[in-house]
Each structure stands twice: as structure tokens, then as C-alpha cells.
């Protein structure tokens, strides 16, 4: 079973037992690596529950169509394997939205894409 799925099940049980606000060691998976995080089961579920607002694939379609989105991802980011269909293609269409892949990992993507991000912001906020 996936470590996060186990964590979600555990956090749900802790919520039912009245321990939702007690900090505990729970499992996180980030960039394919398993980590222990100290947080409350309530906070954990707000992030890892499959239908939570933190699940980007679930919330992408809730973004108002008038808001443009820049999705920047590094080609060495673990999430790249999901492709643009995971979130970007679920966004409401907006002519100013853009999907951008750069040669970087999860942590270096912002620095590598900085010039492109600034250029996109200038175009996105420009009058229609």
C-alpha cells in the first residue's frame, strides 16, 4: 500500500478517535522520496485527502476561467511523468495560460525559469 494512503487511513482513524489536533509523525511523499512530517491529522488530511483542495488535479477546474495560469515544471521533477494532462489540461481555457517545461529539478525550476516567468507575468497582466 502507498505510504500516503496508509497515512490518510491513519489520520482518518485519529480524527475519529478525537486526536485530530494532536501533532504526530505522518508520512509524506515528495519527489518520490518518503519523509516523516510532524503535523496534526486534521492538517494532514487537508493536504493529502484525495478530494482536498490541495489536490491540484481536483482543483484545477475550479480556477475561474478569467485567471491565467503559468505551469512551470522541470524535466527532472518527479511529477513530470504525469504530463500536462495531470493538471494543466484540466484548467479552464484561457489564451494567456501557458505550460512550460524547463531543464531543472523540483527545487531549481523557479531559478531556471525566472526570466520566462517574468516575461509571462508581463504578458498576462497586459491589457487584453
Q: What is the pLDDT along the chain (128 residues), one digit of tens a residue?
A: 476 788 889 999 999 999 999 999 998 877 667 888 899 999 999 988 888 888 888 899 999 999 999 999 999 998 899 999 999 999 999 999 999 999 999 999 999 999 999 999 999 988 66
Q: For the whole model, what pTM was predicted?
A: 0.73
CA distances from 118 to 30, 53, 73, 75 (A): 27, 27, 15, 20
Which pLDDT score is estimated for 1?
Answer: 45
Q: Which of 1, 30, 26 is nearest to 11 (CA)?
A: 26
Which pLDDT score is estimated for 31?
Answer: 66
Amino acid at each position: 500500500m502507498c505510504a500516503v494512503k496508509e497515512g490518510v487511513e491513519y489520520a482518518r482513524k485519529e480524527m475519529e478517535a478525537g486526536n485530530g489536533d494532536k501533532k504526530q509523525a505522518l508520512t509524506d511523499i515528495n519527489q518520490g522520496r518518503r519523509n516523516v512530517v510532524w503535523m496534526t491529522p486534521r492538517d494532514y488530511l487537508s493536504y493529502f485527502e484525495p478530494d482536498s483542495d490541495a489536490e491540484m488535479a481536483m482543483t484545477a477546474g475550479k480556477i475561474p476561467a478569467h485567471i491565467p495560469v503559468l505551469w512551470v515544471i522541470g524535466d527532472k521533477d518527479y511529477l513530470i511523468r504525469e504530463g500536462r494532462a495531470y493538471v494543466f489540461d484540466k484548467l479552464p481555457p484561457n489564451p494567456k495560460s501557458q505550460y512550460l517545461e524547463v531543464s531543472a529539478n523540483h527545487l531549481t525550476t523557479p531559478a531556471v525559469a525566472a526570466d520566462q516567468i517574468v516575461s509571462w507575468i508581463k504578458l498576462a497582466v497586459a491589457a487584453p
